[in-house]
Amino acid sequence: MLETSMLEALLCLLIKHFICDFPLQASPWMYKNKGTYGHAGGLVHAAIHGAGTFVALIYWFGLSAWLFAIVDMIIHYHIDWAKMNISMKFDLKANNSEWFWILLGFDQLLHHLTYFAIIAIAFNLA
């Protein structure tokens, strides 16, 4: 069924997100430099997400999964860049502000909404 495939694909993207956003972003070079536009650390982090999206979606979309991987990479990069700049502007840190956690949650929400949109569009095009 189409709905089952959509849910399975979404689940793959959500698992991919955890893996790429937390264990695979363990390097300070990545997470400390996402606020500098064009810095290699942020670009590599976004590329890891793009590669993960490709792997997560190849079963359903074959090589066309690259289109969604590139879209995810670009959107992910800009969400992270904006979050880092807002954090820096307002000096939000885990130990000094509840707004840090609200911003982190909003960042995660935007990433998950991106996956919902990718799945909706991808399965409507297929």
∠ CA 74-77-82, nearest 5°, is 125
Global pTM exceeds 0.85: yes
Domains in the chain: boundaries: 2-125
Instruction: Report the distance separating Cα 104 and Cα 31, nearest Å.
Output: 13
Are the C-beta atoms of 116 and 11 separated by less than 8 Å?
no
Rounded Cα gap, residues 42 and 35, in angstroms = 8
Question: In this predicted structure, what is the pLDDT of residue 109?
Answer: 98
66-108 tens-digit pLDDT = 999 999 999 999 999 999 999 999 999 999 899 999 999 999 9
Predicted confidence (pLDDT) per residue in 49-60, tens digit:
999 999 999 999
